Amino acid sequence: MPRLVAERSDILPKLAETFRTRGYEGASLAHIGKATGLGKGSLYHFFPGGKAEMAEAVLAEMGAWFENSVFAPLRSIPAGDAAEARARISESCRAVERYFASGRRVCLFAVFALSETRSLFEKQVRDYFRNWVEALARALVVAGRGPAAARTEAFDAVATIQGAIVLARAASDERVFAGALARIEARLLG
């Protein structure tokens, strides 16, 4: 039996894809096994906690990606450097567009937030959105907004992004996501 996978993290992308497309309940071990090419034995070797641990690992990886690629850059802008803040906000919009594949790819945190799975991953889901809103609000403050306005604008921007994913999928038209994101960016910078 040749080894196919060296590390747990090698199969996380395919795991994430399966949870995204089928949801937590809908992703059966059979689906996961087929998607990853691994049997139950290997799956339970890597994730002794079963499906719950798989989903947790996927959320952790998604969270880490956003932390590194979106939240941290927004949070760490030097105070007073409004030009840099605007540049980082623009960059974060591009990173978001890339990650969600222009609305074709779903946000797993949103899927979990809308389902009863929420209770299983409540903390991860809450922290993800809180971190996003707070990081963006911080960047807006550096860009010159008042604290209260920055907070509500950040909230609305994140909410609109999430809703745009829903509407883009509903319409099966990814252009509407790109358009919405462009308007969000303009509003954040304007």
CB 4 within 8 A of CB 37: yes
50 binds, among its own copies, DNA, none (CB under 5 to 8 A by kind): DNA
Q: Give me 41's structure tokens.
A: 């034995």
Query: Is residue 3 within 8 Å of 46, Cβ to Cβ?
Result: no
| Interaction of residue 4 with DNA, rule CB under 7 A | yes
String marking each residue 30-69 x if it binds its own copies according to CB under 8 A: ----------------------------------------
Of 41-49, 92-100, 130-138, 158-166, which segment contacts DNA by CB under 7 A? Answer: 41-49
Q: CA-CA distance, 187 to 153, in Å (whole number)?
A: 9
175 binds its own copies (CB under 8 A): no
- Contact partner, 71, from its own copies, DNA, none, Cβ < 5-8 Å per class: none
Smallest separation, CB 27 to DNA (Å): 6
- What is the size of the binding site for its own copies (CB under 8 A)? 44
Candidate residues 17, 35, 42, 75; the one interacting with DNA per rule CB under 7 A: 42
Binding its own copies (rule: CB under 8 A), the pick from 35, 115, 120, 134 is 115
**CA angle (126 as vertex; 81, 56 as ends), nearest 5:** 110
Minimum distance from CB of 45 to its own copies (Å)?
A: 26
Site for DNA, rule CB under 7 A: 1-7, 27-31, 38-42, 44-45, 48, 50-52
